Structure 1
Amino acid sequence: MQQPWQTKWPERISYGLSDAADNLVFQMMTTYLLFFYTDVYGLSASAAAILFVVARLADVVESLIIGIMIDHTHSRFGKSRPFFLWYALPYVIFAILTFVTPNFGGNGKLIWAYVTYLGLGFFYTAVNLPITSILPTMSKNEHELTLLGVIRQFFGSAVQIIVAVFTLPLVALFGGSNQQQGFLYTIILFGIISLGLIWNTFLQVRERFSQPEQAHQPLKDVWHMLKQNKPWFIISAVILLYWLTTAVKNQTTIYYFKYIQHSESLVPLVNGFTFAALIGVVLIVSAAKHLGKKHTMLAGIGIATLGQIILALGTVVNQLPLLLAGTFVNSIGNGLIIGLVSIMIADTIRYGMTMGIQAEGILASTDDFGVNVGLGLGGLVTAGLFHLSGYTANHAQNVATQHMITLNYAWIPLMLYLVMFIVLLFYNEKQLLAAIEASDI
Structure 2
Amino acid sequence: MTTQSEAPATKGGQVPLREKISFAFAEFGSQFIWSTLGTFLLPFFTDVALIAPVAAGNILLVARVLDGIQDLGFGYIAERTTSRWGRFRPYVIFGAPVVSICMILTFTSPFDGQGAKIAWAGVTYVLICFAYTVANMSYGSLAGVMTTDSGERLTLNWIRSQGGNIASLLLQTVTPFLLVYFVATEAAKDKGFDSRSFLITMTIYGLVTLPMFLITGFGVRERITLTPEQQKVSFRETVKAVVSNSQLVIIFLFMLMMLIGLFGRIGVMLFYARDYLGNPLLMASLMPAFQMGTMAGQFFLPPLALKLGKRNMLIGSLFSSGAVLLAIFFIGDGQGLAVLTALHFAYGLAGFAAPIALSMVPDAVDYYEDKTGIRADGTSYAAVSLSTKFASAIGGALTLYIVGLFGYDGAAQQQTAEVMTGINIAANLMPAIMAFLAIIPVLFWKLSTKKMAEIAAELEVKRAAQADALAHGLSRDEAEAVAEHAVEEAES
TM-score, normalising length: structure 2? 0.85
CA distance 1:234–1:382, shift in 2 (3 Å): same
1:281 positional shift: 2.2
Is 1:435 aligned to 2:452, yes or no?
Answer: no
- Match of 2:73, SS state, is helix
Deviations 1:197-219 (A, max 9, x none): 11111111111122413345212
- Match of 1:79, SS state, is coil
2: distance between equivalents of 1:43 and 1:27? 21
User: Partner residue of 1:348?
Assistant: 364
2: distance between equivalents of 1:125 and 1:223? 18
Whichever residue aligns with residue 341 of structure 1, its letter is A
2: distance between equivalents of 1:216 and 1:192? 39
- Larger mean CA deviation between 41-50 and 26-35 belongs to 41-50
- Larger mean CA deviation between 106-115 and 189-198 belongs to 106-115
1: distance between equivalents of 2:93 and 2:209? 13
2: distance between equivalents of 1:203 and 1:95? 22
Whichever residue aligns with residue 256 of structure 1, its letter is Y
User: Partner residue of 2:321?
Assistant: 304
Q: Which runs of 5+ in 2 are unaligned?
A: 1-9, 189-193, 464-492
Q: How many residues align?
A: 439
1:314 positional shift: 2.1
Is 1:98 aligned to 2:98, yes or no?
Answer: no
1:258 positional shift: 1.6
Higher CA-based Rg:
2
Match of 1:397 among 415, 427, 433: 415
User: Partner residue of 1:423?
Assistant: 441
Match of 1:200 among 174, 190, 215: 215
Q: CA RMSD in A?
A: 1.9
User: Partner residue of 1:225?
Assistant: 241
- Match of 2:87, SS state, is coil
2: distance between equivalents of 1:305 and 1:258? 24
Pairing of 1:226-265 with structure 2 (within 5 A): 226-265=242-281
1: distance between equivalents of 2:347 and 2:29? 24
User: Partner residue of 2:119?
Assistant: 111
- Match of 1:210, SS state, is strand
- Larger mean CA deviation between 375-384 and 301-310 belongs to 301-310
2: distance between equivalents of 1:263 and 1:172? 12
Contact 2:88 2:138 in 1 (8 A): yes
1: distance between equivalents of 2:125 and 2:244? 35
CA distance 1:360–1:325, shift in 2 (3 Å): same
CA distance 1:3–1:299, shift in 2 (3 Å): farther
1:101 positional shift: 2.5
2: distance between equivalents of 1:111 and 1:324? 39
Contact 2:242 2:379 in 1 (8 A): no
User: Partner residue of 2:94?
Assistant: 86
1: distance between equivalents of 2:356 and 2:307? 14
1: distance between equivalents of 2:406 and 2:335? 22
1:176 positional shift: 5.2
1:379 positional shift: 1.5
Is 1:163 aligned to 2:167, yes or no?
Answer: no
Is 1:412 aligned to 2:430, yes or no?
Answer: yes
- Larger mean CA deviation between 111-120 and 63-72 belongs to 63-72
2: distance between equivalents of 1:119 and 1:428? 38
Match of 2:83 among 75, 84, 96: 75
Identity within the alignment, %: 23
Whichever residue aligns with residue 207 of structure 2, its letter is I
Pairing of 1:138-217 with structure 2 (within 5 A): 138-175=146-183, 177=185, 179-212=194-227, 213-217=229-233
- Match of 1:46, SS state, is helix
2: distance between equivalents of 1:401 and 1:313? 16
- Match of 2:77, SS state, is helix
User: Partner residue of 1:383?
Assistant: 400
2: distance between equivalents of 1:76 and 1:217? 22
1:316 positional shift: 7.4
1:437 positional shift: 3.6
2: distance between equivalents of 1:396 and 1:318? 23
- Match of 2:440, SS state, is helix
TM-score, normalising length: structure 1? 0.94
2: distance between equivalents of 1:27 and 1:390? 26
2: distance between equivalents of 1:310 and 1:388? 24
